[in-house]
Amino acid sequence: MRQVVVSGGTVRLEDVPAPLVEPGTVLIRMDHTCISVGTEMSGLKATGLPLWKRALRQPQNVKKVVDMVLADGLSATKRLVQERLAVELPTGYSGAGVVLEVGEGVDGFSIGDRVACAGAQCAFHAEVVRVPTNLVVRVPDNVNFEAASSVALGAIALQGIRRAAPTLGETFVVIGLGILGQLTAQMLRANGCRVIGVDLDRARIELAEQHGMTWGVHPDDANDVQQVMRITGGAGADGVIITAASPSDVIVSAAFRMCRKKARVVLVGDVGLDLKREDFYVKELDFLISTSYGPGRYDPQYEEGGLDYPLAYVRWTESRNMAEYLRLIADGVLDLRHLITTVHTIDQVDVAYRSLQGGFDKPLMALLSYPRLSSDLVRRLELAPAVAHIGSDVIRIALIGAGGFAKGMHLPNLMDMQSEFRLRAVASRTGHNATATGKRFGADYCTTDYREVLADPDIDAVIVATRHDSHGRLALEALTAGKHVLLEKPLALTDFDLRAIEDFYANGTGPKPVLLTGFNRRFSPYAQRIAARVAGRSNPMILNYRMNAGYIPLDHWVHGVEGGGRNRGEACHIYDLFTFLTGERIERVEATAIRPATGYYAASDNFVATLSFADGSVATLTYSALGASEYPKERLEIFVDGTVISLDDYRSLTIVGGKEKPFATRTADKGQKEELLAFAKAIKGQAEWPIPLWQQVQATRISFDIERFL
């Protein structure tokens, strides 16, 4: 299918594989999508800015880059920055079309339904999109797709109205008569208000007056604040809604000065906000922010998780705002006939965007139209001819899950190890990410259906780097398909998935594929030196590990069902390291957690775990989100046979009481590349499994046991 992407200040049409429907979502064949003149054009310009200009706009990111250079080195930081700057971004967030497929658990939609959808994370300019149900609404029979495709813009305008709470007979000012201003003016009239519109474009003022706006004000004709005062008999407006887009602080200042005492100003657009106290203090004005489509926006549980807010408690969610906007069109309350000024086919996307870069003559609203699909959905896209003659000992590998870690770590490492690996395929949930990643790293093809990878006889091994809750299932499917698996930690989040993997290796005869959980720390040169040093010990050890893990907001996926929490999702690294260094079976597990006094921390954010091993060694992990991010993240101390071994953040190693010299590297080395090399050797039969299965299972079960304490 075709999709619009932006990069480097340009927009273009790309062929990408179509998405798969997922539980709680619907698959929609787009008929029309609406280009946002403000948001999208601003984003397009931003991708074309040179790095130094971006730095001036986002100085907080400069500090992050400097910190990364200090922590990871210049080359690794440069690689990551270039990766992020080169990314091709999808664009679009409002459209309408026909339901093609309905995901599991979806009620209220059927194949063939006419629907409208919104969401910058899903309602792209593309022939087919996958959208969560809370961002999809039915289109009334008498509303065409052209009008319905503006549903996101309409919901934004409607939410601004709701924040302003207009009452019959009030006078409102609308500053900025672009598409949001035009819709806002019509909605205010529908509320029985008198409307004053302010804009620099006389044509837009005239258009709004044709649709019922009471007065139009052009700043060149008279001072706009004084004009509003004259119109309102010197009292001032009951409220002002700002739908303009400008970095100037003058707009919000003028809005305050246009108001009567105790009026309200609602910000819908994007303007400068250097507020002056004298503009609003004496009048005791209310300044309100209207957040996009309404309640539910930016709440992942609502938008992605499908959790609706009860109507009795939240009357107007973003979904209900979208539906109401379409009803207003259906009932003839809103008139879009003169607002939709330009419609281009998807093949003319470059022309459409160029038309929006003009001055006063640019269209209020531009749409893209899509042809009907001529064939079944294609979920595999060939990127380059497969290499016919690669070395017989080169492992043909595929990536399932092209997230930030995989693109920033695994794929660059694979590119550095082309004598060992050949990237055959990239599988990702979204077509644009699969395509961009596959092209960047030289894959033969990309796909949105991981089953394409598992069914491919020309793939020997897979790296699974999806979110945690899918690890156990995907690993088992890949192993059953005969693929060697490098599975990012954790191995599993549930005992059911873990037992299924154990059963796979326990049952049947003959050789089985290699399974390697991504417990990379044991492969670091530091862990390898420590293991060699303690291998011949005469007594048990005491191992103390401190992880200054840092705070992660509670609405992050790591804390949810997909992530499984920080104990199972991250601390499992350390349980594996303890297992590796002792080489022993676990005998006892205990843990004590800090019970948060406030809702800022999760119950599993801060705990101390104590592990007792069969040889008598005792290991403790202090895991905390309480510390400062400026402090080093990880430290290990081992007390054994008259020596103290200290590992600091995988940067330096010292042994007090021994003759070994300190060991250090310029940057932290946690063994990711060595892990891949060990994986390759095991697949080729040149070495044993990098991590014995029992040790992978043990580290995972330790995390399960500790979870019960937390």
What does the pLDDT look like over 427-466, one tens digit per residue? 999 999 999 999 999 999 999 999 999 999 999 999 999 9
Q: How confident is the model at residue 202 (pLDDT cuts 50, 70, 90)?
A: very high
User: In the chain, where does the domain assigned CATH 3.30.360.10 lie?
Assistant: 521-709
* Res 86 pLDDT > 70: no
Q: Over range 353-372, report the average pLDDT.
A: 83
User: In the chain, where does the domain assigned CATH 3.90.180.10 lie?
Assistant: 2-150+298-369
Residue type at 257?
A: R
Q: What is the pLDDT of residue 68?
A: 62
User: In the chain, where does the domain assigned CATH 3.40.50.720 lie?
Assistant: 155-289, 389-516
8 A C-beta contact, residue 424 and residue 459: yes
**What CATH homologous superfamily does 155-289 map to?**
NAD(P)-binding Rossmann-like Domain (3.40.50.720)
* Res 12 pLDDT > 60: yes
* Res 241 pLDDT > 70: yes
Q: Over range 643-662, report the average pLDDT.
A: 94
Whole-number Å distance between alpha carbons of 135 and 93 = 10
Total residue length of the chain:
710
Output 346 or 58, whichever has higher pLDDT.
Answer: 346
Q: How confident is the model at residue 508 (pLDDT cuts 50, 70, 90)?
A: confident
* Res 355 pLDDT > 90: no
Q: Over range 278-304, report the average pLDDT.
A: 94
Q: Identify each DSSP E strand in 149-283 by its residue range.
A: 171-175, 194-198, 215-217, 237-242, 245-246, 259-267, 270-271
Whole-number Å distance between alpha carbons of 417 and 419 = 5
Match domain 521-709 to its CATH number in 3.90.740.10, 1.10.10.10, 3.30.360.10, 3.30.1300.10.
3.30.360.10
> Please, what's the largest Cα pairwise distance for the chain?
94
3-state helix, strand, coil in the chain (%, to 5): 35, 25, 40
Contact residues for 577 (Cβ-Cβ < 8 A; gap 6+): 519, 521, 522, 527, 545, 636
Q: What is the pTM of this model?
A: 0.89
8 A C-beta contact, residue 34 and residue 152: yes
DSSP lists the bridge partners of residue 117 as 95, 136
DSSP 278-330: HHHTTTT-EEEE--TTSTTTT-HHHHTT--PPPTTT-S--HHHHHHHHHHHHH
Q: What is the pLDDT of residue 65?
A: 64
Whole-number Å distance between alpha carbons of 504 and 136 = 41
Lookup result for tokens 């992605």: 304
CA torsion, ordered 613, 619, 625, 627, to nearest 10 deg? 180
Percent of the chain topping pLDDT 90: 82
Kindly indicate whether the domain formed by 389-516 is annotated with CATH number 3.40.50.300: no
Whole-number Å distance between alpha carbons of 63 and 40 = 27
Match domain 2-150+298-369 to its CATH number in 3.90.1150.10, 3.40.47.10, 3.90.180.10, 3.30.70.870.
3.90.180.10
Tens-place pLDDT, residues 23-56: 999 999 999 999 987 666 565 555 555 554 555 5
8 A C-beta contact, residue 432 and residue 3: yes
Which run of H or E residues covers position 588? Answer: strand 586-593
* Res 506 pLDDT > 50: yes
Whole-number Å distance between alpha carbons of 308 and 428 = 28
Tens-place pLDDT, residues 107-139: 999 999 999 999 999 999 999 999 999 999 999
Which run of H or E residues covers position 341? Answer: strand 340-345
Q: Over range 293-305, report the average pLDDT.
A: 93
Using CB atoms within 10 Å of the CB of residue 317, give its burial: 0 to 12 exposed, 13 to 18 middle, 19+ buried. buried
